Amino acid sequence: MSEKPQETALSKCPGCEEPLEPGDLFCGACGYDLSAVPAPPKDRPTIALATPPAPSAAPAGSTASAADVPDVPDTSDAPDAGSGDFELAAPDPAAAAAPVPAAGSAPDPRTPAAEPVAAAPAAGGKVCVACRAGRVDDDGYCENCGHAQPRERDHMEQELGSVAAVSDRGLRHHRNEDSFAVSTTALPDGSPAVVAIVCDGVSSASRPDEASAAAASAANESLLEALPRGTHPQQAMHDAILAAAEAVNALAREPGPAAEHEQHRRQNAPACTLVGSIMANGLLVVGWVGDSRAYWVPDDRTAGPARLTEDDSWAAQMVAAGLMNEAEAYADARAHAITGWLGADAYDLEPHTASFKPDRSGLVVVCTDGLWNYAESAAELAAAVPADASQRPLHGAQVLVGHALDGGGHDNVTVALVPFAVEPQGAGSACGTS
């Protein structure tokens, strides 16, 4: 969850009683403005119900997005409604294990009597994630136990050729305000280009979920237009960030649908952060605004991993100014106050881009702070990446999301993995930023 600067000293939300973390500016569950409110009532935590849908693959040369430009001079820098959550009892193991008699046959007298259970859903019907037995009706409720089902955006997965991404609502938030887009295309010489974009909605702004979806889609579309016509990948990334910014700015000019959970949210312009990567012709390009990050994890784990981006955040500014070390800065309640974002009320937009030419094979990890909060340093993140992630990027992304959920899942978490292959004879390396 990215946050614009503000102060709060509450431990629980007075609007929905959700527990708060030190430094939270707005409630992550209901959006309540925490700047000046009375002491909150007793806490009632909820349990998330999200379960991953079956991943789908798309053909090469296509694009996949979690949501569903002319060149300009490069001025870049160097490097909802209610949640539907319920406290649920676990399904009865005895009932689950009980044999089901064949159609038209009498019950086996040797089998102990059991409580009635709902009939199995019809073929092709969606099964309830709570009771695992009832069919889900057209309104999204189980016909057996009555529980609301997770929304589609609560957990998203996509694998497209050699790139994969996973996004999850986490264990504390009532909705997923992250978004991603992954795609593949071809350069003019026919060689492949792989793109991954990850965006994190600014929770203290209005409609953060719409902002992240609009930014991811616009950046991806811009890259799919620019790369095939020969625009240099680093210039294409710079332009894509500007296109994403314009898409988020446009939301501020459109009336958003009123939602009950946003009634206490200060009506700031929609905003989000963005980080993206391009793999093309042996070049690795990253671009970002905000505090979402990209990391490099070599396949040979004896070589050191690296963080490829620098946060636009209060903590990063303190470290850069020499006023604090990283441990002190990121332990501060103000650490995640961002100093750069996409949105109509952003300060002067400064897209950051950097290009690298790795001399060995590895993996690019593109993620929101929902992941790196639990693996902040490059070494910590590399330790969480499965050894076979380059061969199984979707599985690797699932493992990293699980790492964040196991750590507490206090935020939405999104991660994209882009394997980067280098031929063994490609000795030597070059690295540049702009």
Alpha carbons 243 and 216: distance in angstroms, whole number: 10
The Cα 146–Cα 136 span in angstroms is: 9
**Residue 230 predicted with pLDDT over 60:** yes
Res. 216 pLDDT band, cuts 50 70 90:
very high
- Lookup result for tokens 């294409």: 236
Which one has a higher pLDDT value, 93 or 46? 93
The confidence band for 183, taking pLDDT boundaries of 50, 70 and 90, is: very high
Residue 121 pLDDT: 52
Check residue 8 and give its pLDDT.
41
| Average pLDDT of the segment spanning 397-401 | 97
Query: Of 286, 293, 291, which is closest to residue 378 (Cα–Cα)?
Result: 293
Listed in sequence order, the residues at least 6 apart from 433 whose beta carbon sits closer than 8 Å to its beta carbon are 78, 79, 353, 354, 355
The confidence score (pLDDT) of residue 136 equals: 85
Average pLDDT value for residue range 169-185: 95
Q: Which two tokens stand for residue 145?
A: 């136990």
pLDDT of 130 above 90: no
Over residues 371-375, mean pLDDT: 96
Give the pLDDT score at 328: 87
**Which pLDDT band holds residue 1 (cuts at 50, 70, 90)?**
low
- Per-residue pLDDT, averaged over 361-387, amounts to 97
Q: What is the DSSP string of 261-303?
A: GGTTS--PPPEEEEEEEEEETTEEEEEEESS-EEEEEESSTTS
Q: Which of 40-49, 136-145, 294-303, 414-423 has the lowest mean pLDDT?
A: 40-49
Task: Out of 62-71, 344-353, 385-394, 417-426, pick the least confident.
Answer: 62-71
Three-point CA angle 245, 346, 82, nearest 5°: 80
Q: Span 4-17, mean pLDDT?
A: 58
In this prediction, residue 11 carries a pLDDT of 66
288 pLDDT more than 70:
yes
pLDDT band at 28 (very low <50, low <70, confident <90, very high): low
> What is residue 235's three-state secondary structure?
helix
Most trustworthy range by pLDDT among 73-87, 273-287, 304-318: 273-287
* Percentage of residues of the chain with pLDDT beyond 70: 66
> What number of CA atoms fall less than 13 Å from residue 113's CA on the CB side?
1
Share of the chain above pLDDT 90, in %: 50
Output the CA–CA distances (angstroms, integers) from residue 109 to 97, 103, 214, in the order listed.
16, 16, 60
Nearest to 185 by CA among 193, 176, 174: 193
116 pLDDT more than 50: no
Pick 253 or 274 by higher pLDDT. Answer: 274
- Work out the average pLDDT over 394-409: 96
- Whether 144 has a pLDDT exceeding 60, the answer reads yes
Per-residue confidence band for 41, with pLDDT thresholds at 50, 70 and 90: very low
**How far is Cα 397 from Cα 392, in angstroms, rounded to an integer?**
9
Answer with the residue of higher pLDDT: 169 or 63.
169
Q: What is the mean pLDDT of the chain?
A: 78
